[in-house]
Chain A
């Protein structure tokens, strides 16, 4: 158990509404990541963070923003949800920090449906 929780676990929302997903970790790891999982694409990186208020874009960042005001929380926001953002969202942490290596440990995922 990597001490990662995600909330909510399931959400159904309407097109055009804002949505915020929360990732919480209990072990003060510096690096945190948001991925989305879609059939045929595996997991794709949306945004990542390498410290409080230090964030950057991944490969599929359009339509998403993130914030990290404290070490333990990493928020993913869909400013105006679209049906193409229906997906399963995973948060991950990287315990090794700046050391080489790099396995990540994942939260339980959030299934988001945009109708």
Chain B
């Protein structure tokens, strides 16, 4: 079974500052992928970034980057130069390969508040 844990129910950051959201996971699969999704107040789930477990290089997408620590099973999201539009709920998610039919396991979510 796969598990994903987000231990920070809420985080806050000042506009233009940097914030890091934490995520730990557990899986016995060797082939897996990790994702961060953003859910703004509109409720729409938006894919922010993905990381393939076989890649050592951390993924980046503009102001968003991850710190993928495979041995520690840690997958944190760093948001640089935070903007008011970054305020949202953020979910960490795990896809473990094998015969999982593409199912995702989600963490509990972290609410990010951005202060002007």
Contact = CB atoms under 8 A, between A and B. Distances in A.
Interface of A: 31, 33, 35, 40-45, 48, 50, 56, 58, 88, 90, 92, 94, 96, 100-106, 108-109
A43 B106 contact: yes
A88 B43 contact: yes
Nearest to A93: B102
Given A104-B104, A106-B45, A43 B91 contact: yes
Contacts of B50: 101, 103
B44 A103 contact: no
B109 A42 contact: yes
Nearest to A43: B106
B48 to A, nearest CB: 10
A88 B44 CA distance: 11
B103 A90 contact: no
> Which of A33, A41, A96, A104 is most buried by chain B, counting CB atoms within 10 A of its CB?
A104
How many B residues touch the partner, as a band?
Answer: 20 to 34
Given A31-B101, A42-B91, A50-B101, 6 more contacts: A35-B106, A42-B6, A43-B93, A56-B101, A96-B102, A105-B47
Give the 4 A-B CB pairs with smallest separation, nearest first: A102-B95, A42-B106, A106-B45, A43-B106
A58 B103 contact: yes
Contacts of A105: 47
Contacts of B6: 42
Contact of B44 (A45, A48, A58, A108): A108
B10 interface: no
A48 B4 CA distance: 20
A88 B108 CA distance: 14
B7 to A, nearest CB: 13
